[in-house]
Chain A
Amino acid sequence: MTISKRRLVTATGLLITTLSTSLLAPSIAFSAEEGSAVAEGKSLAFSRKKGNCLACHMMGDGQSPGNIAPPLIAMKARYPDKAKLRAQIWDATAMNPDSPMPPFGKHQVISESELDKIVEYVWTL
């Protein structure tokens, strides 16, 4: 009983969200911006010159990933705090000096704003 009630609440919530996003122009713009950050982040993550994450990580639908590093799955569960995920990509050796992962932010392999976009994408995995 409680389950179906919750479902109902969720469904109503979704309906309201959908309605409000379709009615309110600013929220549409916001979600589109977020969506494009994810898409840009993905292309930066897959680019060999930028993140080149697939060299070591299995992630999303990326072809022929390496297996040196852990697969990037369930990222929201592993990093409930998005800032921690960002810090890990910025410099993984801060947490683990033995980590072979390049310090992407610290060594400016990618810019801070590119890093933000990559975080947005990785957090969807």
Chain B
Amino acid sequence: MKKILLMSVSMLTALVISGAVMASPEEDRAIFQKYFKERFPAVPTEEFANGVYSIDPVGRENWEAIEEFPPYETFIDAGQEMWEKPFANGKTYKDCFPDGPAIAGKYPHWDKKKGSVITLPMALNACLKANGEKPLKYKKGPINNILSYIAYESRGQVTNVVIPKDDPRAMEAYEMGKKFYFTKRGQLNFSCANCHLQNAGMRLRTEILSPALGHTTHFPVYRSKWGTVGSLHRRFTGCNKQVRAKPFKAHGEEYRNLEYFLTYQSNGLELNGPGARK
């Protein structure tokens, strides 16, 4: 126990220090994935795509039972309707995304022209705007239907976030996301890393803290707590509120850079959304 804690703290320090000397994203990811491999030696790396259920055998039994009749199924169907329904101008999402609907693996990505990380919800809204349609609200509502459909169709794709070397702003965005991840915030003073890296697998009351590796693979997610499907940025918002910090804007610069950093750490893991969680 003490040994695990010591190890985790030293690994964490290594990660933070490596940030100070601007380690390459590749080095970060190697440290990140190695850390979880050593912390949970019995868990094969690909298992982390299953989130907390990769390390919580009791929770996993419940989860597998829930997955027999997935609570997100109706959202996938509603999303398919959205995908196929023509806009007022007669075009559809397919005109914006010729490779669609299985496009989740392309996001988030760096857009050199816009000088910004582009997330899938942002791309969907850009498509709507370009076709004279009203953009969708980011956190709640129908955006989660189309995200569910796209996630379902994209199952089996592999997380492969690229930090292009030809644009220093991409590296800057990644570094900002990393800084966000390790910064303590809110009245309760927790960083993302405090719980999901430093203390992954430990119990907060009866809840097992989920490992950061694999956090991004299964979104959007049906949460029993929400009674509906919600996006990654809605989850970020919830985490920030829990530590009594003021949440940031969904798909604003802070959260999209955080998504960029966090998804990159899971490179190599399969996408398996939509997910089901407590």
Q: Which of B189, B198, B204, B209: most chain A Cβ within 10 A?
A: B189
B176 at the interface (CB under 8 A from A): no
In the complex the two chains form, is B204's CB within 8 Å of A100's CB?
no
In the complex the two chains form, is B188's CB within 8 Å of A109's CB?
yes
Cα A64 to Cα B127 in complex, Å, equals 49
Select B190's contact among A64, A65, A100, A108, beta carbons within 8 Å.
A100
A67 at the interface (CB under 8 A from B): yes
Cα A86 to Cα B204 in complex, Å, equals 23
**Chain B: minimal CB distance from A82 (Å):** 24
Q: Which residues of the partner chain A approach B194 to less than 8 Å between Cβ atoms?
A: 100
Chain B interface, number of residues (Cβ within 8 angstroms): 18
Residue of A nearest to B204 (CB): A66
B12 at the interface (CB under 8 A from A): yes
In the complex the two chains form, is B9's CB within 8 Å of A98's CB?
yes
Q: Which residues of the partner chain B approach A54 to less than 8 Å between Cβ atoms?
A: 205
A68 at the interface (CB under 8 A from B): yes
**Chain B: minimal CB distance from A101 (Å):** 8
A-B contacts at CB below 8 angstroms, number: 41
Q: Which residues of the partner chain B approach A67 to less than 8 Å between Cβ atoms?
A: 202-203
In the complex the two chains form, is A107's CB within 8 Å of B189's CB?
yes
Please encode chain B, from 147 to 190, with 1 for each CB lying within 8 Å of some chain A CB and 0 for all others.
00000000000000000000000000000000000001001111
Q: A66 with B205: in contact, given A98-B13, A100-B194, A100-B198 (CB under 8 Å)? A: yes
In the complex the two chains form, is B202's CB within 8 Å of A66's CB?
yes
Residue of B nearest to A96 (CB): B9
Chain A interface, number of residues (Cβ within 8 angstroms): 16
In the complex the two chains form, is B205's CB within 8 Å of A100's CB?
no
B89 at the interface (CB under 8 A from A): no
Please encode chain A, from 98 to 117, with 1 for each CB lying within 8 Å of some chain B CB and 0 for all others.
10101100011100000000
Q: Which residues of the partner chain B approach A109 to less than 8 Å between Cβ atoms?
A: 187-188
Q: A98 with B12: in contact, given A68-B199, A93-B189 (CB under 8 Å)? A: yes
Q: Which residues of the partner chain A approach B12 to less than 8 Å between Cβ atoms?
A: 98
**Chain A: minimal CB distance from B44 (Å):** 25
Cα A2 to Cα B187 in complex, Å, equals 55
A55 at the interface (CB under 8 A from B): yes
Select B204's contact among A68, A102, A103, beta carbons within 8 Å.
A68
Q: Which residues of the partner chain B approach A103 to less than 8 Å between Cβ atoms?
A: 189
Cα A66 to Cα B208 in complex, Å, equals 9
Cα A79 to Cα B211 in complex, Å, equals 33
**Chain A: minimal CB distance from B182 (Å):** 11
Q: Which of A56, A93, A102, A107: most chain B Cβ within 10 A?
A: A102
**Chain B: minimal CB distance from A98 (Å):** 5
**Chain A: minimal CB distance from B189 (Å):** 5
Contact residues, B1-48 vs A (CB, 8 A):
9, 12-13
Contact residues, A49-66 vs B (CB, 8 A):
54-56, 64-66
Residue of A nearest to B188 (CB): A102
Please encode chain B, from 201 to 215, with 1 for each CB lying within 8 Å of some chain A CB and 0 for all others.
011111001000000
Q: A64-B205, A98-B12, A107-B188 are in contact. List 11 more A-B contacts (CB 8 A).
A: A56-B204, A65-B205, A66-B202, A66-B204, A66-B205, A67-B202, A68-B202, A98-B13, A100-B195, A102-B187, A103-B189
Residues of A within 8 A of B (CB): 54-56, 64-68, 93, 98, 100, 102-103, 107-109
19 contacts between A and B (CB under 8 A): A54-B205, A55-B204, A64-B205, A66-B203, A66-B205, A67-B203, A68-B204, A68-B209, A93-B184, A98-B9, A98-B12, A100-B190, A100-B194, A100-B195, A102-B189, A102-B190, A103-B189, A107-B188, A109-B187
Q: Which 4 A-B pairs have the closest CB atoms?
A: A100-B194, A102-B188, A68-B202, A66-B203
